[in-house]
Amino acid sequence: MTQSDNLQQQVVEHAVSAEEAGQRLDVFVGSLPQVETRSRATRFIEEGLVLVDGEERNKKYLISAGELITVTVPPPRTTTLTPEFIPLDIRYEDDEVIVLSKEAGMVVHPAPGHQTGTLVNALLAHSLELGKLQGSERPGIVHRLDMDTSGLMVVAKSDRAQQRLQDAIRERIVDRRYLALVHGWIAPETGIIDAPIARAPGDKLRMRVHDGPRAKEAQTTFKVLQRFEPGRYDDGFTLIECKLYTGRTHQIRVHARYIGHPIVGDPSYGRGTLPANHYLQRQFLHSHRLSFVHPITKEELRFEDDLPDDLQTLIDGLEPR
C-alpha cells in the first residue's frame, strides 16, 4: 500500500491480494484504516473517489486479486457545530434512537449557506449522545429529508444504533412512505418507477434520471389516494403515497418529474405558475409513515404523521373537485 498527502487530500493505493479477493468494494474500502467505516466507503464510492484500475465501480463490485484500488480521501471538514435550543417535535425517544417530525424549512445538517439553525444544531442541544459514524458534521444522522420536505425521521443516539439502522435502510427493511401531490391525472392505481439517478451535469444541486456509470439504482412505488379534476389554471392533481426502496438525493421529486407528474410547488423539478401550484411555497412532500425494527431491542416501531397545516389546507381547497 502506498499513500500520498497534501493540504487538500490523501490518496491511498492498494493492490488486492489473493486473500482479499472476492470482497465487495464497499466492504473492502471501509476496512482501510484511512476510511474506517463502510458508510464512509459508500459515500466515497458514490462521489467517484474510489477507482478500480482507474475506473469507477459500484459498491457491490467484487474485487479481484491484482486490481489496484485507489481511494481519494477528502480532507477532514472543519465545521464547528454549535448546540442551539430549537424546539423539536419528538414522537419517540429512548437511550438509542429518536423519532421526530421535521418541519419544512429546516436543513438537516450544516452545509454551505446553512451553518446554523439546522436539525443537527438542535439535536446537539437536546442530547449529549449522538452516533458519530457519519462524521463529526452529521452526528446522529441516519437518513435525510430535503429542507422543504416535512415529516418523520429517525436519529441514532449511539454508534451501534446508527450502524444497524443504516444497514437496515441499505437492506430495504425500513418502511418509509411519503405523501405527495403531483400535477396531472395519474390513471393507474399503483405503479413502480425503476430509474437510476445521477447528478445533473454542471449543477451540484440538481439530480436527473440517467443510465451512466455514476448513476445509482433507484426504485419508488406509488399508490393513488385521491384525484382532482382540472381547474382554470391547472391540469388537475393526484395525491399519491410513495414508498422508497432506495434513498437517493431528491429521489421522489426526480422520479415524479420523470413520469411527467412533477410535485406541486417543487422549485427545482416542478412546473407551472404560482396559481397552478395554488401558491404553495414549497414542494408538497411529507414523510407520513415510518416503520422499522428497533436496532437494539428488536421491537417493531411504527409511526404516522398527519399533513402539516399548509399542505392540508391545499387539499381541503381541492376537495370540491
Helix (H, G, I), strand (E, B) or coil at 178: strand
- Between CA 71 and CA 211 the distance in angstroms is 24
β-bridge partners, 130: none
Of 43, 28, 38, 155, which Cα lies nearest the Cα of 92?
A: 155
Helix (H, G, I), strand (E, B) or coil at 241: strand
Of 277, 260, 261, which Cα lies nearest the Cα of 311?
A: 277
List of residues 6+ apart from 293 with CB closer than 8 A: 168, 173, 299, 300, 301
Helix (H, G, I), strand (E, B) or coil at 237: strand
List of residues 6+ apart from 210 with CB closer than 8 A: 196, 197, 198
Q: Alpha carbon of 100 to those of 52, 150, 288: distances in Å?
A: 40, 10, 11
* 146 in active site: yes
CB 152 within 8 A of CB 138: no
CB 15 within 8 A of CB 53: no
| C-alpha cell recorded at residue 97 | 434512537
List of residues 6+ apart from 113 with CB closer than 8 A: none
CB 195 within 8 A of CB 253: no
* Grid-cell match 425517544, residue found: 93
Selected catalytic residue, list 146, 234, 266, 305 = 146
Cβ neighbour number for residue 313 with a 10 Å cutoff: 13
The residues that are catalytic are 146
